[in-house]
Amino acid sequence: MKKSYRCWAEIDLDALRGNLAWIRHRVGKDAKVITVVKADAYGHGLRQIAALLMQSGTDVFGVANLAEATAIRSVGKGWPILMLGACLPDEIEVAVRDGVMPTISSLAEAELFSSAAVRLGRTINVHIKIDTGMGRLGVAVSEAASLIDAVTSLAGLKLSGLYTHYASAEDDARLSRQQCERFQQVIGRVLKQHAVEYVHANNSAAVLFEPCNLFNTVRPGLLVYGVLPTGKRRLPPGLLEHIQPALRWKCRVSFIKDVPAGTGLGYAQGFVTRRKKTCVATITAGYGDGYLRSGSNRAKVLIHGKRCPVLGRITMDQMLVDVSSVGNVGIGEEVTLIGPQGNDVIGVSEVADWCGTIPWEVLTNITYRVPRVYQGQQAA
């Protein structure tokens, strides 16, 4: 079956389900989970992942735009959806109609939502975001109280959530502590007066590093897919035994040749061989599939369970790798770009390091050209 693909991603739905179960175990049964599925579920395929997360009992979906919300609704109705971005003026009515919970950072936004809700005869649940140090969206801490008062008195709005976002939870314990304290200051007063269903701050890194301050809801993305946020902070060993990467990225060998020393390879002859004889394999993945070109001359892939260095520049559809140490590689054989093969494994974070980026970008960069093949009990 998979032999008909040149470059594909295998998604293990059992791993995903296990990761969500681990997150639930970590945060306790009283905490709600907003699973973040923006950017095509971090490249894993939004519809399939939404279906799986519905079956596995997620509480809320977090999205980056309204098209993602519509895709989720097409899979199953009834799940609350939180729009993490700010709605543009022309999206406000659509969000209200679709029953998507918006993020509100200012009185002006609150008023637009209120009048749209009144016009359409609806009451909508809204989340107010507090900027405690991320500087992207959210009301300033000093203005939070008056925005919250305004929202609770505007027609057509129900204050359903209060949240903030950590700027550096995987790196900076001090900043995270500060952000947490600022958030607590704001919510402490509000929660005495209003019942708020969702109070949340913790992305994946904060689920791992700030377990004492989960509020009543967490908001993980990367961790759901089994990938760890890379940073300076270290976790106790053994903590993540049960977290499993859900995605394996593969392609195939399409051509093999032996070349002598001094052979230039690829565009601009970005690599020139030095050994007397180098066995070079051409493989069927490139930056057109989303493998970042910055991995040129740095990245590695697995063939027969052995690490093969990428030689020269990664091109749109193909790249060259050194298979001299592998021996007897056949045309059509499987290459692992991300995931285990034999006794070795290439992690998303490792690829991110080679490409000078972060695991989130490696995953969301995998393009539409790469079919997602689902495996595990609930694969359709």
Ligand X SMILES: *Cc1c(COP(=O)(O)O)cnc(C)c1O
**Cα distance between residue 106 and residue 123, in whole Å:** 19
8 Å CB contact between 65 and 83:
yes
Of 213 and 324, the one with the shorter C-beta distance to ligand X is 213
Interaction of residue 214 with ligand X, rule CB under 6 A: no
Instruction: State the residue number with the nearest CB to ligand X.
Output: 221
Binding of ligand X by 266 (CB under 6 A) = no
The H or E element that residue 249 is part of is strand 247-260
Would you count residue 278 as binding ligand X (CB under 6 A)? no
Which amino acid does the sequence have at 367? T
Confirm or reject binding of residue 219 to ligand X (CB under 6 A).
Answer: yes
Q: Which of residues 194-213 bind ligand X (CB under 6 A)?
A: 203-205
How many Å apart are CA 45 and CA 258, to the nearest integer?
A: 39
- The residues with which 9 forms a beta bridge, in sequence order, are 249, 372
Among 208, 222, 302, 329, indicate the residue that binds ligand X (CB under 6 A): 222
**What is the identity of the amino acid at 197?**
E
- Quick note: the x/- pattern for ligand X over 295-324, rule CB under 6 A, is ------------------------------
Indicate which residue of 5, 29, 32, 38 is catalytic.
Answer: 38
**Catalytic status, residue 38:** yes
Residues 68-107 that bind ligand X (CB under 6 A): 84
Q: Nearest distance from residue 44's CB to ligand X, in Å?
A: 12
134, amino acid identity:
M
160-194 exposure pattern, b = at least 16 Cβ within 10 A, e = fewer: bbbbbbbbbbbbbeeebeebbebbbebbeebeeee
Contact range with ligand X by CB under 6 A, out of 20-28, 93-101, 216-224, 268-276: 216-224
Does residue 36 belong to the site contacting ligand X (CB under 6 A)?
yes
Query: What are the two backbone dihedrals, phi and then psi, of residue 251, each rounded to the nearest 5 degrees?
Result: -150, -165
Among 43, 220, 266, 339, binds ligand X (CB under 6 A): 220
Spatial neighbors of 95 by CB under 8 A, at least 6 apart, are 66, 69, 83, 87, 102, 113, 124
Catalytic residues, by residue number, are 38, 267
The binding site for ligand X (CB under 6 A) comprises 36, 38, 84, 165, 203-205, 219-223, 229
